[in-house]
Amino acid sequence: MILKFPLFVLLFLSTLVNAQETMIVNGSKPFSATQNYTFICEKYAYTGEANVQIAKTEKGGILKLTIATANDKARIAGGVYVDLANADVIACVDKNVKEYADGKTTSYYYFTPAEMNKLKNTDIKGIRFIITGNSNTFGNQTGYFTAVNKTNYFSTAFDQSKKTFNTAKEISVL
C-alpha cells in the first residue's frame, strides 16, 4: 500500500503535465494552453462549430478563436465578447492578429491578468463574434454568431452528466 500511493501520485502528475497543449501566435515562442474546445455554434450553417483555445502568457492570456469558412475572404473581425457562467462579460478588442490556413480562419485576442483571474474562477458560457467577407451566392455566411460552451448538440432529459467543458479548471492549471 505504501508503494502504490506514491506511484499513483506520480502517474497523476505526469498525466497533468503531458495533458497541456501549446499555442504559437505568428511565430512567437510557444505558450502553455488548454485543450482545443469545440463549442457549438448553431446559427453558423457552414459547420455549426467553433474551436476555442486559451493560453497563458507573461502579460495575461490569449484567446484563439478558429472557424471553418467557405473561402479565404471570410474573417473573424471586430471585437469579441466572452460571456461567463456568472453573467460577467469580458470584451476583447480586435488587435488584427489573424491567420487563414486549411479552410479555417483564426483570430487571436488578448486578456489582461485581471481577466485571466476571472477565467480561472468561472467557466466560459459563450463567445460572441462577427464574420465578415463576401456574401455572394454559394459563398460564406456572414453576420453575428455565438459559440456556446456545449459538448453535444443533443441529449436526453435522463442524461445527468455535465454537458459543458470545465474551462475554469483547465485555465487555473495553466
**62: CATH:** 2.60.40
In a domain, 138, yes or no: yes
The number of domains in the chain is 1
Mean pLDDT of all residues in 146-173: 82
Residue 115 lies in a domain: yes
pLDDT in tens, 16-70: 444 568 777 766 788 899 999 999 998 988 889 999 999 999 999 999 999 999 8
In whole angstroms, what is the distance from residue 76 CA to residue 109 CA? 11
**Domain-located, residue 164:** no
- Cβ-in-10-Å burial (0-12, 13-18, 19+) of 147 comes to buried
What is the pTM for the complete model shown? Answer: 0.81
Domain hosting 145: range is 31-152
